[in-house]
Structure 1
Amino acid sequence: MENLFKVILGTVQLGLPYGVNNFKGVPTVDESIEILSTAHDLGIRVLDTAEAYGFAQKVIGDYHKHNPQRKFEVITKYSSSANDKNDLIYNILNDLKELSVNSLSGYMFHNFSDYKKNQSKIASLASLKKEGLVKKIGVSTYTNEEIYDLLDDSDIDFVQLPFNLFDNNNLRLSALKQLKLSGKEVHVRSVFLQGLFYKDINDLSEKLSGLKKELVRLNEIANVACTSISSLALGYALENDFIDHVLIGVDDKDQLLANVNHINESKIIPERIFNLINEINIIDKDLLNPSNW
């Protein structure tokens, strides 16, 4: 169960339709509660959400109100587009109320642009941190250049970045090492690349067809390892010594239970298999960002 403690449950699916392979849409309230209850039963204790994730925060808050002894630590994200007041302190106080928690495990800028635009407000965030309303301050990033810009900012406690079988050590290893050397916590997301790894290669869009060769290679590696793509994807991130937490999202309870089984399977994947993954080098880096699809 050690690897499971590194898992953070993403909740964008609880408030918005999300993922290239999500054909079910947003879960019902009852289904969302079932996902959260199952996660807690499994030992997952941290949720990742955002002010821009539709009604996800309300779902979490309602769960907490009805399960006061089974609350999660919650990381949420500030987005200038999610609130007309565009005020950090107002947003945080509203988040605490909506999420039904006394403090936030983490408060992140939803993107690097929001971080840069709100430099004058970081002192207020640091003050809220001293008061205990926010435990850690973070930034969600996309590029290594953004990561390197954060290394010397002592007010930033953790950084979230994409990391997966394609967006792998070829691109990220140096950034991961430097983050750890600077004393920052590392959270990674998009370990399944929004479900692309499960896509039938015959159903790829014209743009994504540029990844067909690499998707075939992934399946070959999984066959060599006698394991699943899910186990490969989870193990590749969870076994990385430079990564503190791995964010996963699910569409329903069964998918969550399946992922936990894959996590257990990933513990026995040999290092030589991970080395094969490290040989995958995506030339067109734009294809690693789902917003470009």
Structure 2
Amino acid sequence: MVDGRLGKQMSAPTRHRRPVRAVLQCRLSSSRLPAKVLLPLAGLPIAVLAAKRAMRDGQDVMLATSVEASDDLLVSEATRHGVPVCRGPLDNVLARFLIATEDLPDDALCVRLTGDNTFPDADFIGTLVDLLEANGLHYMAHGGNRTQLPYGMAAEVFDVGTLREAAAATTDPFDLEHVTPWIRKRHAPRRMPPFPGLDRTWGHLRATVDTFDDYQRVAAVFEGLTDPIDTPWQVLVERLQALPDAPTFHLRRQAGDPAGMVLGTVQLGLAYGRANAVGLPPEHAAHTIVRRAIDHGVEDIDTARAYGQSEARLGRILSRGLASQARILTKLDPLADVTSDWPAAAVAARVRESVQASLLALGLKRLPVLMLHRAAHLDMADGMVMETLEALCRDGQIGTLGVSVQTPAELKQVLDDGRIGHVQLPCNLLDWRWRDLVPALLVRPDLCVHVRSAYLQGLLTPADPRHWPVIEGVDPAALVTTLSELAKRLGRRDCRDLCLAYLRGLSWIDGIVVGVETEPQLMDNLELFRRDALSASEIAEVDTALPHVPEALLDPSGWPRT
């Protein structure tokens, strides 16, 4: 047993037939926003406000922190405000929960709360406990999965005996840090009973404090409240929704859903695209685009060493705490200066230099996905490029290796290479080149497929024949007319909607890379991803109506210069 419990216990409310104790876990050593739980909110430290709201009406609450000296100030502040405290191992949070509940019988209930979430209150806790008891469960949770409730408006309830069972059964560091994974695997119902009384969905909102932007948002919610402890959680959520920059939806995806949006950032690093009339957005506009995309549920952000300022800009934007909310996919330097006479050691050094430059620019310790910028790198220098990248994977600097391909022949090579877990390729509703390879893609469920050029470098957004390159066998005006007629006939808003809905209806595509230059463009594309994908019969109708365009139109690198 480590350290002990400090402070006087409060009597449990009489609402429930067995003892209920809420355990509020927190520490000061948060990596994204250190000491965030001591930041002032409505005149109290965040952790104290969270505890006081849970303690309302006599609810039994214990703040569980670590024995590290770094948490002494947290203990002092909690004790000064009358919040009972227990201390245990920093990394074994499950052990802290055991200490916090050591005086309770096995049939008592434990409610897991976190110190950076101030919205849950005693009424919210009571509702979850009622749901658990009414349904005869050993585990109950609501919030955190972005369905009905805001992210951060969450709690878990389980009986103390089950908590002790988990502690005796698992030594997995993940289970010890996150407390309930072992319990959820064995006791969580397949479908949680619905939270009562909700007449709307708030899952698109974010109520936690994990970044400074989060803190400013939550502070705005509590600003001006006369009684921040007694204010019902529903009122706080309504105030959160009423903030000027609050999102109105969240692109939450589940397994089997149509392809989601991947934010492309070449436009944030270069003046890119044939139809780009804006140029390179200023830094503040780039920050707004990335933050708003993440706020609305975009989880993947695509960049590359070759995208000018893109990686560096992303690194500065993500440094505000957003890195944990998005997966970054970048690409190796194109290695255009590497020639066939370079020694293998020099090639390896060049590859490591590119990876380190990406890590430094992005402010990451690990690149979640690193793609080869060209499929030719698979065999470059007798395989030295891939050999070096595999070593960096083993060292933990890279998560998944991928390849950005240009042609079906390159895709065939990737499909035969088990080292590759991610592929990106150009595709749009005019592009017929990939159809023969769909069966091979479907037998590689381990391979994540993202497509780019959904709008054919802006030619289809809007569909304006004046922007099209002059290519033999292509009648831009006729194509634009056909696309517009298809969009109208299929009930799509416009050609952009048709383009995205077509790709999202293809089951082999996992994500669609869409780049934007402005916030209005971003919001317009996000709205399009909320719409239904085309059905198989609608896709067939599109394929039948559109002509077989020359391959030259599908490869922008070969377009005539204008």
- Asked if residue 37 in structure 1 is aligned to residue 291 in structure 2, the reply is yes
SS at match of 1:160: strand
Given that residues 231 and 266 in structure 1 are in contact (C-alpha distance below 8 angstroms), is that contact kept between their aligned partners in structure 2? no
Correspondence for 1:28 among 282, 285, 297: 282
Instruction: Tell me which amino acid in the other structure corresponds to 1:237.
Output: L
**Structure 2 Cα separation of the partners of residues 203 and 18 of structure 1:** 14
Alignment-derived partner of residue 106 in structure 1: 369
Alignment-derived partner of residue 92 in structure 1: 355
- Asked if residue 176 in structure 1 is aligned to residue 428 in structure 2, the reply is no
Instruction: Tell me which amino acid in the other structure corresponds to 2:484.
Output: N
Q: How does 1:246-265 map to 2 (within 5 A)?
A: 246-265=512-531
- Compared with structure 1, are the counterparts of its residues 179 and 226 closer, same or farther at alpha carbon in structure 2 (3 Å cutoff)? closer
Given that residues 31 and 253 in structure 1 are in contact (C-alpha distance below 8 angstroms), is that contact kept between their aligned partners in structure 2? yes
Alignment root-mean-square deviation, CA: 2.3
Gaps of 5+ in 2: 1-250, 340-345
Instruction: Tell me how far 1:27 sits from its aligned partner.
Output: 0.3
Given that residues 459 and 468 in structure 2 are in contact (C-alpha distance below 8 angstroms), is that contact kept between their aligned partners in structure 1? no
CA offsets per residue over residues 166-215 of structure 1, 9 Å max, x none? 01xx3212223313324422111111111111242245443388142323
Given that residues 180 and 186 in structure 1 are in contact (C-alpha distance below 8 angstroms), is that contact kept between their aligned partners in structure 2? no
Given that residues 176 and 186 in structure 1 are in contact (C-alpha distance below 8 angstroms), is that contact kept between their aligned partners in structure 2? no
Gaps of 5+ in 1: none
Identical aligned pairs, as a percentage? 27
SS at match of 2:273: coil
**Structure 1 Cα separation of the partners of residues 473 and 525 of structure 2:** 27
SS at match of 1:138: strand
Structure possessing the higher relative contact order (Cα contacts under 8 Å, 6 or more residues apart)? 1
Instruction: Tell me how far 1:233 sits from its aligned partner.
Output: 1.1
Given that residues 351 and 385 in structure 2 are in contact (C-alpha distance below 8 angstroms), is that contact kept between their aligned partners in structure 1? yes
Instruction: Tell me how far 1:83 sits from its aligned partner.
Output: 9.4
- Compared with structure 1, are the counterparts of its residues 270 and 6 closer, same or farther at alpha carbon in structure 2 (3 Å cutoff)? closer
Alignment-derived partner of residue 481 in structure 2: 216
Alignment-derived partner of residue 80 in structure 1: 335
**Structure 2 Cα separation of the partners of residues 61 and 4 of structure 1:** 29
Which structure carries more helix by proportion?
1
Alignment-derived partner of residue 274 in structure 1: 539
**Structure 1 Cα separation of the partners of residues 412 and 402 of structure 2:** 14
Correspondence for 1:232 among 492, 498, 507: 498
Q: How does 1:120-135 map to 2 (within 5 A)?
A: 120-135=384-399
| TM-score (ref. length: structure 2) | 0.49
Instruction: Tell me how far 1:277 sits from its aligned partner.
Output: 1.8
Instruction: Tell me how far 1:121 sits from its aligned partner.
Output: 2.4
- Compared with structure 1, are the counterparts of its residues 283 and 43 closer, same or farther at alpha carbon in structure 2 (3 Å cutoff)? closer
SS at match of 2:506: coil
With 35-44 and 215-224 compared, the bigger mean Cα shift is at 215-224
CA offsets per residue over residues 93-119 of structure 1, 9 Å max, x none? 221111011211211111223333252
Alignment-derived partner of residue 242 in structure 1: 508
SS at match of 1:159: strand
CA offsets per residue over residues 18-68 of structure 1, 9 Å max, x none? 112111101000000000110110111211101011111110011122335
**Structure 1 Cα separation of the partners of residues 472 and 292 of structure 2:** 34
- Asked if residue 6 in structure 1 is aligned to residue 6 in structure 2, the reply is no
Given that residues 176 and 242 in structure 1 are in contact (C-alpha distance below 8 angstroms), is that contact kept between their aligned partners in structure 2? yes
Alignment-derived partner of residue 320 in structure 2: 66
SS at match of 1:91: helix
**Structure 2 Cα separation of the partners of residues 19 and 164 of structure 1:** 16
| Runs of 4 or more above 6 Å deviation | 82-85
**Structure 1 Cα separation of the partners of residues 411 and 323 of structure 2:** 37
**Structure 1 Cα separation of the partners of residues 356 and 474 of structure 2:** 45
**Structure 1 Cα separation of the partners of residues 408 and 372 of structure 2:** 16
**Structure 2 Cα separation of the partners of residues 125 and 205 of structure 1:** 38
Correspondence for 1:193 among 448, 456, 460: 456
**Structure 1 Cα separation of the partners of residues 437 and 366 of structure 2:** 30
Instruction: Tell me how far 1:71 sits from its aligned partner.
Output: 4.8
**Structure 1 Cα separation of the partners of residues 525 and 414 of structure 2:** 32
- Asked if residue 49 in structure 1 is aligned to residue 303 in structure 2, the reply is yes
**Structure 2 Cα separation of the partners of residues 135 and 176 of structure 1:** 26
- Asked if residue 144 in structure 1 is aligned to residue 408 in structure 2, the reply is yes
**Structure 1 Cα separation of the partners of residues 490 and 291 of structure 2:** 33
Given that residues 138 and 157 in structure 1 are in contact (C-alpha distance below 8 angstroms), is that contact kept between their aligned partners in structure 2? yes
- Compared with structure 1, are the counterparts of its residues 209 and 41 closer, same or farther at alpha carbon in structure 2 (3 Å cutoff)? farther
- Compared with structure 1, are the counterparts of its residues 202 and 77 closer, same or farther at alpha carbon in structure 2 (3 Å cutoff)? closer
Query: How many residue pairs align between the two structures?
Result: 290
Instruction: Tell me how far 1:145 sits from its aligned partner.
Output: 0.9
**Structure 2 Cα separation of the partners of residues 137 and 203 of structure 1:** 36
